[in-house]
Amino acid sequence: MAQFEWVKRRRIIHLALAFCAGILVAGMAYAIVQGETELVKTFAVAAFTSAISIIGSYVFGAVWDDGNARKYPPVPEQDPGEVG
């Protein structure tokens, strides 16, 4: 079950980072076509800040989750027919 959760988390991380990369590419294309650099600088800073925050949260969350898994191991399920 925990493996499935990390697959979903990684998918969200990859999509968010792809969005940040798309913003950068679109901003550079806009700057080349229009010659507008200040707006592109603002988008670039926002995209890089978002990407760094996403990666930092992902790593911090993984460390925290692993620490909790070591501290509180999962309780094995008992068979309902088993008594005591």
What are the domain boundaries of the chain? Answer: 2-67
What is the mean pLDDT for each group of 10 consecutive residues in the chain (84 residues)?
71 88 85 81 84 85 78 74 60
Give the per-residue pLDDT at 25: 87
Rounded distance between C-alpha atoms, residue 84 and residue 77, angstroms:
13
Residue 79 confidence (pLDDT): 66
- Per-residue pLDDT at 64: 80
CA distance 27 to 42: 9
pTM: 0.62
The pLDDT value recorded for residue 82 is 63
Give the pLDDT confidence score for residue 18 in this predicted structure. 92
pLDDT at 2: 58
What CA–CA distance (Å, rounded) separates 19 from 42?
16
Cβ proximity of 57 and 9 under 8 Å: no
